[in-house]
Amino acid sequence: MPPPSLLQAVVVHPDDERAAPLFAALTVEYDARYGDLFGGAAQELTRYPTHLFTAPHGAFVLLLEDDAAVAGGAFMPHPNEDTVEVKRMWTAAGHRRRGLARRVLTELEVLAAARGARRVFLTTGPRQPEARDLYLAADYTPLFDPAVPRPTDLESLRALPVAERVYGFTKHLPDHTPGAPR
């Protein structure tokens, strides 16, 4: 398998046929981890119109290996000015533990900053400890106390207020506008 740096990062429309296997696997994964806790994966993945994940509002990035998507992610506008929200982060099961999610996240951050975003917001669930650890390692600021564990069983999660069922994160972006000093 080639290292993450040799994979091709492309910005595509969310309806690009290369993204279909990613969404299918993401649906299975979300349903397996969360059931209907958030309304079901199909509902979550269609909650926002696709145009929010395209320029000038957002972006959808795929990492391709031999023209097949092995990882991806997107961002869309957030209600807070100069902020985007990262969504749809995913790495295909056979390609995990290669740093691909980190590469996708970096691609999204650079693209968002180049389009004028100054901050990223995102959430992940307590049944995705690998995602939580990724965002902490990528210098995201937790909007929760990482020392206080959240329950991971579905019954206990259902008992929590909706806002407490997820881990929120934020990160300030460096200026990546063309010509700006790095």
pLDDT tens-place string over residues 36-78: 777 777 677 778 899 999 999 899 999 999 999 999 999 999 9
The single-letter DSSP state of residue 113 is H
Distances in Å between the Cα of 29 and the Cα atoms of 72, 100, 130 are 15, 17, 13
Are the C-beta atoms of 10 and 62 separated by less than 8 Å?
yes
pLDDT tens-place string over residues 68-124: 999 999 999 999 889 999 999 999 989 999 999 999 999 999 999 999 999 999 999
Task: Judge whether residue 182 has pLDDT over 50.
Answer: no
Task: Judge whether residue 5 has pLDDT over 70.
Answer: no
Nearest to 95 by CA among 129, 130, 60, 69: 69
Nearest to 70 by CA among 35, 25, 108: 25
Query: Which domains are present in the chain?
Result: 4-172 (3.40.630.30)
Q: H or E segment at 32?
A: helix 20-34
What's residue 101's pLDDT?
95
pLDDT tens-place string over residues 135-172: 999 999 999 999 988 898 999 998 988 888 899 999 99
pTM metric for this prediction: 0.89
